[in-house]
Amino acid sequence: MKMAATRKALAAKSPAELKTELDALLKEQFGLRMQVATQQLTNNAKLRQVRRNIARVRTLMHQKAS
């Protein structure tokens, strides 16, 4: 149920807002990768969630572009 609300919220955003969201997610992914490298990450599932959210945002950006 929560994911459906997240998808609807992303779908309602403009392409500029999606770009901002993508930039934030990419920075978060970078930070999580650094935590993995230094063995400081305690929640390994967070990396997977961020990676999938990046894919969702990119998919919506491509859909809105065409």
**12 and 30 Cβ atoms separated by less than 8 Å:** no
What does the domain layout of the chain look like in residue ranges?
Answer: 13-65
pLDDT of amino acid 65: 86
Beta carbons within 10 angstroms of residue 49's beta carbon: 14
Q: Which residues of 11-41 are buried (b: 16+ CB within 10 A; e: fewer)?
A: eebeeeebeebbeebeebbeebeebeeeeee
pLDDT digits (tens, 9 = 90+) for 15-63: 999 999 999 999 999 999 999 999 999 999 999 999 999 999 999 999 9
CATH class for domain 13-65? mainly alpha
pLDDT of amino acid 23: 97
